[in-house]
């Protein structure tokens, strides 16, 4: 018989934040029922959202949230990689640049002038890019936010030394397994499920809503064919562009959906102060 | 009791507890990528065509536990999993779907490889089939020789005889169990006119099928693996996998090992998979079929051609679900016609 479960040191876990909203880190804290089991198996060595106590690296498993938007972060992620045996990125920011990657389509200097009173205080890159653009990533967990079952699956798989069951097929596969009604075919509701990466358990269609693609493109997704479907459902060119340009706008699949010309006011590079900052007009 | 029932704007097979939950007064409007529920204004029970989803989930569920194990420091102890017994009644199943279960029987009940999950769920099924007299625009069971009237594999087969004044069911008893049930049902003996009325309805149904498939086309298409049509259909295909999920005979699966965070338990599960995913054909990390074109060709030619070699018949029963549930409305009957051209 081997000794007690903790005779060997527990693998260390670090959770890192880059440009993000913290929602994916919260998903780990939301694992209330499983959190004690997680802490029993891994030593949470660095997780500032949960504890200010920090254990020095290196770390066996790093979970990285957020995208790279500053020169400082572009260097910091390299250090995180150096300190991490396994590095897994979590969420749309870390895997695709996130919603803040909308800046990639426009002029960041112009946006800064529109949004901030004193833009000269800011130091930022012109782009928001996924972690995989900067360092080697061992696995990506998609979603905005990530799915807690997938997070636990990955942690469990790493601990067991097995392949995690994280498929890169479409949301439709999950929808059909759940015996959901297809909102696209039966209700005429625009839905990105056919080209969106599975993992959420078909959450939105389960509540009769179309998928809005928060897990980004699935493997083999045909965006041009999907665009035709959305057009046939009555969506305008700018509505189609907006549907793709949300949380995963900078992902390779969703970046340039083949849409016709859209009104200039909707093009991010043409965002005017009157459209974006009506604050002074408000009572 | 599983039967077609109205749910979320569709008719789908699901659990019902009384005949009131049958799709009374509803039919469906189906076409490529399109399904709508339509009121009939009558009180017919079975005025619809094949339900939007198939019945396979009840016999081969989307997830099934295969093996449970426990790891010790030196070994893995495996415990057999005995599936819970289930006794289904399938009420209102159409001929195409009955034929599909016949095909699944060949896959899951092959003498040298009986699947315990399927066998347990299949064993007790009491089948009340229904002759299909309202085929949809995507139906082509007559082409595939599976319908519209069920020929075998049922305990009872009903034909709904409705013409406004008259609303009766012609019942064909197919087994001793069916006869035992009918002993408790009141009615009158059928006469030749009833059989004629049912036959006339079946004839009208055959004429009303919205699609056709020439049985000579699939082998011709198989001889054209480089036909430009494969690339053409791949250019429209989303590779979402919906066709395989709704197909009543697509049975492919993946296995997943699941470990708990705590303890030494491990479980092996079988989950539905689709030949349209990259993982499905991945060997040593890379897919054998990397393109949508190769995946579509694999699916269509397996379904319509190599299924014959493997199981002795076509794998398609002509239910038309893959046409209805394809978001872009890809129609295999139209594709195979193009692909068969030299």
> Residues of A with CB below 8 A from B34's CB?
185
Beta-carbon separation of A41 and B262 below 8 A: yes
Chain A residue with CA closest to B31: the answer is A185
Beta-carbon separation of B259 and A222 below 8 A: no
How do B76-80 and B63-71 pair as beta strands? Answer: antiparallel
Beta-carbon separation of B9 and A187 below 8 A: yes
Q: Token pair for residue B317? A: 């029963």
Answer for the pair B245, A182: CB distance below 8 angstroms, yes or no: no
Chain A residue with CA closest to B28: the answer is A186
> Residues of B with CB below 8 A from A208's CB?
8
pLDDT tens track of chain B, all 342 residues? 999 999 999 999 999 999 999 999 999 999 999 999 999 999 999 999 999 999 999 999 999 999 999 877 788 889 889 999 999 999 999 999 999 999 999 999 999 999 999 999 999 999 999 999 999 999 999 999 999 999 999 999 999 999 888 999 999 999 999 999 999 999 999 999 999 999 999 999 999 999 999 999 999 999 999 999 999 999 999 999 999 999 999 999 999 999 888 878 899 999 999 999 998 998 887 899 999 999 999 999 999 999 999 999 999 999 999 999 999 999 999 999 999 998
Residue boundaries of the structural domains of chain B: 2-208, 217-339
> Residues of A with CB below 8 A from B324's CB?
185
Beta-carbon separation of B63 and A186 below 8 A: no
> Residues of B with CB below 8 A from A28's CB?
none
Give backbone dihedrals phi and psi of B318, rounded to 5 degrees, phi first.
80, 25
Positions of chain A with pLDDT lower than 50, given as ranges: 1-6, 265-283
Query: Which residue among A37, A176, A226 sits closest to B238, beta carbon to beta carbon?
Result: A226
Answer for the pair A171, B327: CB distance below 8 angstroms, yes or no: no
Q: Whose CA is closest to A257, among A214, A218, A228, A219?
A: A228
Q: What local confidence, expressed as pLDDT, does residue A263 receive?
A: 60
Beta-carbon separation of B327 and A184 below 8 A: yes
3-state secondary structure of B13: strand
**Alpha carbon of A52 to those of A31, A47, A83, A112, A220: distances in Å?**
20, 7, 19, 32, 42
Give the helix, strand, coil percentages of chain B, each rounded to 5: 35, 25, 40
- Residues A135, A141, A142, A147: is their CA dihedral positive or negative? negative
Beta bridge partners of B93: B129
Angle subtended at Cα B5 by Cα B328 and Cα B332, rounded to the nearest 5 degrees? 25
Query: Which residue among B57, B63, B325 sits closest to A182, beta carbon to beta carbon?
Result: B325
- Alpha-carbon distance A12 to nearest alpha carbon in chain B (angstroms): 15
d(CA A13, CA A19): 20
Answer for the pair B196, B202: CB distance below 8 angstroms, yes or no: no
B165 sits in the region (left: phi over 0; alpha: psi -120 to 50; else beta) called alpha
Cite the beta strand spans of B199-327 per DSSP E.
253-259, 265-272, 282-283, 286-287
pLDDT tens by residue, A178-205: 999 999 999 999 999 999 999 999 999 9
Beta bridge partners of B127: B90
Q: Whose CA is closest to B295, among B234, B341, B223?
A: B234
Chain B residue with CA closest to A228: the answer is B328
State the complex-level ipTM.
0.95
Q: Mark A236-250 as b/e (b = at least 16 C-beta within 10 Å).
A: ebbbbbbbbbbbbbb
To the nearest 10 degrees (0 to 180), the angle between helices B228-236 and B292-301 is 110
pTM above 0.90?
A: yes
**Alpha carbon of A5 to those of A11, A31, B169, B263, B267: distances in Å?**
12, 22, 67, 9, 21
Angle subtended at Cα A179 by Cα A174 and Cα A180, rounded to the nearest 5 degrees? 80
B310-314 long-range contacts, Cβ below 8 Å, gap at least 24? B311/B103, B311/B106, B311/B107, B312/B106, B313/B103, B314/B144, B314/B215, B314/B218
Reported as half-sphere exposure (CB side, CA atoms, 13 A), residue B258 has a value of: 20
- Alpha-carbon distance B195 to nearest alpha carbon in chain A (angstroms): 36
How do B265-272 and B253-259 pair as beta strands? Answer: antiparallel
Give me the domains of chain A, ranges plus CATH numbers: 12-160 (3.40.50.700), 171-265 (no CATH)
Beta-carbon separation of A208 and B8 below 8 A: yes
Reported as half-sphere exposure (CB side, CA atoms, 13 A), residue B280 has a value of: 27
> Residues of A with CB below 8 A from B260's CB?
37, 156
Query: Which residue among A155, A179, A185 sits closest to B34, beta carbon to beta carbon?
Result: A185
Query: Which residue among A178, A181, A224 sits closest to B9, beta carbon to beta carbon?
Result: A181
Query: Which residue among A176, A179, A222 sits closest to B238, beta carbon to beta carbon?
Result: A222
Answer for the pair A123, A69: CB distance below 8 angstroms, yes or no: no
Tokens 């296995």 label which residue?
B255
Beta-carbon separation of A34 and B278 below 8 A: no
3-state secondary structure of A78: helix
**Length of chain B (residues):** 342
B313 sits in the region (left: phi over 0; alpha: psi -120 to 50; else beta) called beta
- Residues A152, A155, A161, A164: is their CA dihedral positive or negative? positive
Beta-carbon separation of B241 and A173 below 8 A: yes
3-class SS letters over A95-115: HHCCHHHHHHHCCHHHHHHHH
d(CA A32, CA A148): 10
d(CA B279, CA B185): 52
Beta-carbon separation of A169 and B256 below 8 A: no
- Alpha-carbon distance A5 to nearest alpha carbon in chain B (angstroms): 9
d(CA B239, CA B82): 35
């Amino acid at each position: 018989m081997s000794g007690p479960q903790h005779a060997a040191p527990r693998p260390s876990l670090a959770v890192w934040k880059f440009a993000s909203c913290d929602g994916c880190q919260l998903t780990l804290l939301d694992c209330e029922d499983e959190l004690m089991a997680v802490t029993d198996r891994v030593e949470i060595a660095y997780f500032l959202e949960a504890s200010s106590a920090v254990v020095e690296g290196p770390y066996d498993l790093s979970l990285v949230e957020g995208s790279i938007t500053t020169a400082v972060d572009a260097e910091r992620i390299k250090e995180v990689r150096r300190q991490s045996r396994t590095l897994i990125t979590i969420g749309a920011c870390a895997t695709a640049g996130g919603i803040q990657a909308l800046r990639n389509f426009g002029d960041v200097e112009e946006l800064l002038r529109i949004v901030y009173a004193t833009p000269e205080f800011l130091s930022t890159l012109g782009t928001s890019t996924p972690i995989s653009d900067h360092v080697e990533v061992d696995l990506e967990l998609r979603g905005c936010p990530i799915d807690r079952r997938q997070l636990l699956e990955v942690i469990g798989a790493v601990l067991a030394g097995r392949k995690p069951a994280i498929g890169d097929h479409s949301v439709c596969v999950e929808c059909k397994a759940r015996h959901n009604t297809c909102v696209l075919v039966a209700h005429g509701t625009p839905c990105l499920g056919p080209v969106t990466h599975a993992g959420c358990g078909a959450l939105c269609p389960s509540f009769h809503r179309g998928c809005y693609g928060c897990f980004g493109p699935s493997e083999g997704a045909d965006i041009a064919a999907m665009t035709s479907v959305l057009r046939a459902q009555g969506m305008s060119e700018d509505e189609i562009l907006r549907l793709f340009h949300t949380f995963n706008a900078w992902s390779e699949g969703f970046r340039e959906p083949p849409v016709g010309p859209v009104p200039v006011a909707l093009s991010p590079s043409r965002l005017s102060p009157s459209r974006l900052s009506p604050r002074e007009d408000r009572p | 009791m599983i039967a077609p029932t109205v749910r979320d704007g569709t008719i789908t097979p699901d659990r019902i507890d009384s005949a009131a939950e049958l799709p009374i007064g509803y039919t469906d409007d189906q076409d490529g990528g399109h399904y709508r529920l339509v009121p009939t204004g009558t009180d017919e029970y079975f005025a619809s065509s094949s339900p939007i989803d198939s019945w396979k989930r009840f016999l081969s569920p989307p997830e099934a536990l295969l093996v449970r194990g426990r790891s010790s420091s030196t070994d893995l102890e495996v415990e057999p999993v005995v599936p819970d017994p289930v006794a289904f009644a399938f009420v209102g199943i159409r001929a195409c779907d009955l034929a599909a279960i016949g095909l699944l029987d060949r896959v899951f009940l092959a003498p040298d490889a009986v699947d315990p999950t399927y066998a347990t769920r299949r064993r007790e099924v009491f089948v009340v089939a229904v002759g299909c007299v309202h085929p949809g625009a995507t139906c082509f069971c007559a082409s595939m020789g599976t319908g519209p009237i069920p020929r075998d594999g049922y305990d009872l087969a009903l034909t709904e005889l409705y013409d406004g004044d008259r609303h009766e069911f012609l019942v064909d008893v197919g087994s001793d169990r069916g006869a035992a049930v009918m002993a408790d049902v009141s009615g009158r003996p059928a006469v030749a006119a009833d059989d004629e009325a049912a036959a006339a309805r079946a004839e009208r149904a055959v004429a009303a099928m919205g699609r056709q498939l020439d049985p000579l086309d699939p082998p011709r298409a198989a001889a054209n693996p480089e036909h430009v049509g494969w690339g053409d259909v791949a250019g429209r295909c989303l590779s979402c996998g919906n066709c395989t999920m709704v197909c009543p005979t697509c049975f492919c699966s993946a296995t997943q090992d699941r470990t708990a965070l705590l303890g030494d338990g491990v479980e092996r599960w079988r989950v539905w998979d689709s030949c349209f995913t990259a993982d499905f054909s991945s060997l040593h990390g890379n897919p054998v079929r990397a393109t949508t074109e190769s995946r579509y060709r694999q699916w269509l030619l397996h379904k319509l051609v190599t299924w014959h070699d493997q199981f002795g018949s076509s794998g398609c029963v002509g239910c038309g679900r893959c046409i209805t549930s394809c978001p872009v409305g890809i129609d295999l009957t139209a594709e195979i016609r193009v692909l068969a051209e030299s």
